Amino acid sequence: MDYLTETEHSKLTEELARHISERVVISDRIGTARELGDLKENADYHAAKDDQAHNERKIKDIQRRLSNATVANTEHVPEGVVFLGSIVLLKNLSTQREGKYMLVGESSGRFDLDYMEVTSNSELGMSILKARVGDTVGVNLPAGRTEFEILSIED
């Protein structure tokens, strides 16, 4: 099961609408390229067909994601509990290093934020979901088992 915040659900819905509207544009490009003649050596035609396949794949992926997703209701989440949208300050107990992480349903892929995004279905995300300040959570990471202490939670 995939959990999304209201914002993430809205963004995905908007992205789906954009890809669906792109169908007409791509179809027009294919039609225009067909009019140029021989399809075997028509780069415009093949590029448009590739764009069409990519766009359709994105539409199917987003539709599948939306149909399997649950929009998390954060209205009744108790104060001080990690939930989707929470920014959590964690301390790695073996290295004593601290870092900020935001629990998200889907990563934005941005690296210019002052925190790292952690998806709710990742090992770290599942371990901190519903945890509280002061809790220690264990996570099996590629480098081995790591213990983190939750220092603070921002909503």
User: Which architecture characterizes domain 2-71 according to CATH?
Assistant: Orthogonal Bundle (1.10)
Residue 149's CB is within 10 A of a number of other CB atoms, namely 16
What's the pLDDT band for 124 if we cut at 50, 70, 90?
A: very high
- Kindly provide the residue ranges of all beta strands, DSSP E only, lying in 25-143, ordered along the sequence: 69-71, 87-92, 98-104, 116-119, 136-141
Taking domain 87-154, whether its CATH number is 3.10.50.30 is answered by: yes
Question: What is the location of CATH 3.10.50.30 in the chain?
Answer: 87-154
What's the pLDDT band for 25 if we cut at 50, 70, 90?
A: very high
Query: pLDDT of 30-45, one tens digit each?
Result: 999 888 877 777 888 9
Question: What is the location of CATH 1.10.287.180 in the chain?
Answer: 2-71
Residue 47, pLDDT above cutoff 80: yes
Query: pLDDT of 66-110, one tens digit each?
Result: 888 888 766 666 778 888 888 999 999 999 999 999 998 877 777
The Cα 18–Cα 120 span in angstroms is 26
What percentage of residues in the chain have a pLDDT greater than 90?
45
